[in-house]
Every structure is written in C-alpha cells, then in structure tokens.
C-alpha cells in the first residue's frame, strides 16, 4: 500500500490544528500544498482525499464533508469513527459535560418544528438524569440514588460554562436569533447518531433535517433544508409543490435565485470509493467537506493521528454516535 506523501500529511495536520474548515479555506490550503486549484482540478482533489481516507480508516478516522444547516456552507473535516461519546469528546470534557451536550442536542433534534435550536434558558434547564446509562439502572427501579452524584450536582453555572465551551469548540453554535444550535463539528460527527435516533431526513438530500422548512400541510411529514429548497425550486419551469403531498410550497420569491436548468450545486463528498461521471463529482464535493473536522473534535487534547497499533476502539460518524 503506497504511503502518504508530505502533501497529504500537511493537509491532515492543517485540519487537525485548525479544526473544521469552510470549503474556500480548505481549497486555499489544498492549492498551497499541491499547486493546483481544486475548483478546476477536481479529479486531483478527489484522488488525494480518497487516498487519505483509505489510510485514515486504519486508525478509525474518516474524511467527511457536510453542509452547515444554518448557512448552507460546505465544511471539511476528519472525524473520529469511534462509537462512544466519551471517545468523541475526548478528555477535555468531563462526564457531566458530555451528558449535558447529549441532552442539549437531543432537545434540539426532537423539536417537531425543525427550528434547529432551543433557547439558552431551555438549554440550561435540560435534565441530565435522562442520560444515565442503562447499566446504572432506571430511576423508576433504583430511585434517585441511581443518578450519579456528578450529574445531580451539575449546577446551572457549570452548564452555562460548558455551553460557552461547546460553542467555542464548535460543537454547538449561537444562532442569529440568540438561541443555541448545533455546531459544524456536530453536523460532521453525528451523521450516524442522527440516523440511529430517527431524526427525520430532508426529502431532497436525505441528510438529517435538523434545521429545515416544513410542508404547510400539517398531515405531511416532509421537511427540506432551505438550501435544498433553493436547489429544487430555483429553476423557472419547476412547480413549487411539496414532493410528498403536492401542497403548494409557499416560500418568499426573494429567497430564490433563478438558475439555469442542469446547473449543479457543489455537494460535500461522503463516500470513500472512487466514482465516475457526475457521481464522481458529487463524491468529490462530499469528501472535501469531510477533511474539516479532524481534531477539532471535542477531543482536542491530542492533535496527532493515532497509532494504528493502539487503535482498538469503535466507530461512528458521530457516532457519538
């Protein structure tokens, strides 16, 4: 198996040290080490990222791309495929802090209106006892004694401090309206967790519809990301109807930019297998967004790619899932 060159290592280290990178910033780094503009040399970029992905698989890391569901921008990162949340967040966060993070994201994704956020007050009032692992016994069976003291004594001031740290590290974010939403690192790492917890997907891209628009028909369950709506309905001859029930999708005209038919929007690269034709181009975009969240994971203590010989943990795309 061919070894990675210094160019590959430079890309990985750039992502490990800087954390998730927006597409334009990742392109800048790639062009600096390769001398090629990835926007015009997509095959070179694709081959490079796929090669890195094959090597990272041995240490349970993965190149992954995603869109930030709040602004529609593509980000790249390397994510930890280890399954448990402790491994995801690393030693930087304590057990109560990890439980608090889980409680917050559960509150956000369980919102049936798909606003993708909760208020700061709601975030500080989340209950951590629901995060007690099954092995500790249920509260109904063992009473409040089954709840670890560290969780029972986790104060609001500690929650507020943790909230600020999670926003700083981009696991959470502060939305324009002042609420708490998911950060780009969560979108990169939690794909499997979203799926395993039945978060309703976007009808267009099939990614979790955490922040999405809903069909006006209350009996219809279709939800679509705002940027997917733009892609689906921006063509002049396309009827703006719900793909599920046919109800008119009422969206202000100002939100759409008319595009030529057949114009393709960049999509983050998601797979590791080389493709061909339009599938290859789509894969490329997905893989790019994958290189972003490398070591900016809630596990920031270690900024180096782990030794394959010591790696015997598990795997998930958040698989913090």
Q: In tens digits, what is the pLDDT along the chain, a chain of 321 residues?
A: 458 888 888 888 888 888 899 999 999 999 998 898 888 888 988 889 899 989 888 888 888 889 999 999 999 998 888 755 555 555 688 889 999 999 999 999 999 999 999 999 999 999 887 776 533 334 444 444 567 787 888 899 999 999 999 999 999 999 988 999 999 999 999 988 898 888 999 999 999 999 999 999 989 999 999 999 888 887 777 788 999 999 998 876 555 544 444 444 556 554 443 333 444 444 444 444 443 433 334 444 434 444 444 444 333 343 333
* pLDDT given at position 79: 86
Distance (Å, rounded) from C-alpha 136 to C-alpha 134? 5
For 149, other C-beta atoms within 10 Å of its C-beta total 9
Which of helix, strand or coil describes residue 14?
A: helix
- Give the strand pairing for 61-67 and 21-22: unpaired
Distance (Å, rounded) from C-alpha 14 to C-alpha 198? 34
Query: What global pTM score does this model have?
Result: 0.71
The ranges of the chain annotated as CATH 1.10.10.10 are 87-133+151-197
For 224, other C-beta atoms within 10 Å of its C-beta total 27
Distance (Å, rounded) from C-alpha 79 to C-alpha 301? 15
* pLDDT given at position 192: 86
Widest Cα–Cα separation across the chain: 63
Q: What single DSSP character describes residue 89?
A: H
| Among the four given CATH numbers 3.30.1330.100, 3.90.550.10, 3.90.1150.220, 3.20.20.70, the one describing domain 6-81 | 3.90.1150.220
The ranges of the chain annotated as CATH 3.90.1150.220 are 6-81
102 contacts: CB under 8 Å, gap ≥ 6? 85, 131, 320
Chain-centroid distance of CA 248 in Å reads: 30
* pLDDT given at position 18: 87
For 85, other C-beta atoms within 10 Å of its C-beta total 23
* Tokens 């960049």 found at: 266
CA angle 119, 101, 211 (to 5 degrees): 50
Phi, psi of 149, rounded to the nearest 5 degrees: -55, -35
Distance (Å, rounded) from C-alpha 29 to C-alpha 70? 24
Q: What single DSSP character describes residue 235?
A: B
* CATH code reported for the domain at 87-133+151-197: 1.10.10.10
* pLDDT given at position 67: 93
Strand ranges of the sheet holding 117-118, from the earlier edge strand across to the other edge? 117-118, 180-182, 172-174
The H or E element containing residue 49 is: helix 42-56
Give per-residue burial for 11-37: e unless 16+ CB within 10 Å, then b: bbebbbebbbbbbeebbebbeebbeee
């Amino acid at each position: 198996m061919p070894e990675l060159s210094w160019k590959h290592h430079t890309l990985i280290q750039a992502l490990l040290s800087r954390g998730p990178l927006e597409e334009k910033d990742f392109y800048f780094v790639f062009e600096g080490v390769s001398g090629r503009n990835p926007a015009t040399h997509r095959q070179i970029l694709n081959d490079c990222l796929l090669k890195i992905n094959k090597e990272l698989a041995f240490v349970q890391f993965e190149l992954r791309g995603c869109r930030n569901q709040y602004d529609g921008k593509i980000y790249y990162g390397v994510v930890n495929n280890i399954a448990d949340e402790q491994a995801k967040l690393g030693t930087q966060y304590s057990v109560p802090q990890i439980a608090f993070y889980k409680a917050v994201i559960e509150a956000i994704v369980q919102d049936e209106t798909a606003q993708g956020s909760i208020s700061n007050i709601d975030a500080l009032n989340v209950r951590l006892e629901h995060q007690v692992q099954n092995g500790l016994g249920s509260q109904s069976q063992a009473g409040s004694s089954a709840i670890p003291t560290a969780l029972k004594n986790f104060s609001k001031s500690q929650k507020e401090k943790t909230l600020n740290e999670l926003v700083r590290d981009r696991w959470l974010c502060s939305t324009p309206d002042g609420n708490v939403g998911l950060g780009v690192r969560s979108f990169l790492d939690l794909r499997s967790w979203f799926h395993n917890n039945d978060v309703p997907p976007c009808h267009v891209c099939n990614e979790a519809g955490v922040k999405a628009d809903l069909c006006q028909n209350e009996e219809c369950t279709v939800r679509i990301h705002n940027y997917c709506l733009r892609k689906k309905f921006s063509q002049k001859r396309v009827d703006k109807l719900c793909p599920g029930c046919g109800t008119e999708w009422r969206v202000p005209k100002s939100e759409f930019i008319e595009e030529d038919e057949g114009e393709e929007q960049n999509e983050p690269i998601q797979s590791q297998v080389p493709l061909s034709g339009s599938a290859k181009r789509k894969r490329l975009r997905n893989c790019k967004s994958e290189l972003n969240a490398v070591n900016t994971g809630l596990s920031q203590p270690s900024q180096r790619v782990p030794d394959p010989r010591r790696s015997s943990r598990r795997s998930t795309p958040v698989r913090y899932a």
